[in-house]
Amino acid sequence: MTVRAIDRRMSSLPDALDSFGQIAGVVSARRPALFFDFDGTLSDIVDEAGAAALVPGADKALESLAALYPVAILSGRDLSDIRDRVGIPGLWYAGSHGFEMITPDGTHRENDVAAEAVPVLASAAAELSAELADITGVAVEHKRFAIAVHFRNAAPEARAWSPRRFTGPADGTG
């Protein structure tokens, strides 16, 4: 596998729909799988993470694609969150950046090593929430396998904040 650095902005790349016939020809002898991110791809970026929803028509497009190919929704959101927001049966759903997933037949898979970190993440989320509580517009989102700190709604002066180094739980277990 090789990775090519993209030397052009995405907005300057040709529209894939204009080349659909060529793409269909290339994949006709193969069984492609389609992977979609949720935030910013299937939904608009919104000020409050809880307000994100599928853009109009995305549900029908995903259903049509899933009738032809395996379709997976990948997200940094928790698995239950992303499944509730998309809500289309028969898709692969990978939450928490793939640490937890569910297959189209309902089989649940979870990264056991990541599950061991859940208590440490809960402690870190509590510490971050306390540390950032006085900064207006900053939100700490505790997920099962991750923590997101949202500065999107913070005033520009919040950028001057400097976090102290996180050393783990006070009892030394982290």
Q: Please identify every residue annotated as catalytic.
A: 37
Instruction: Give the C-alpha distances (Å, rounded to integers) separating 39 from 7, 42, 52, 85, 130.
Output: 24, 6, 7, 11, 27
Quote the strand ranges of the chain, DSSP E.
34-37, 71-74, 92-95, 100-102, 108-110, 139-142, 147-150
Phi and psi, residue 26, nearest 5°: -65, -40
* Degrees to nearest 5, angle at CA 55 with 50 and 59: 105
Six-digit token pair at 134?
């006085």
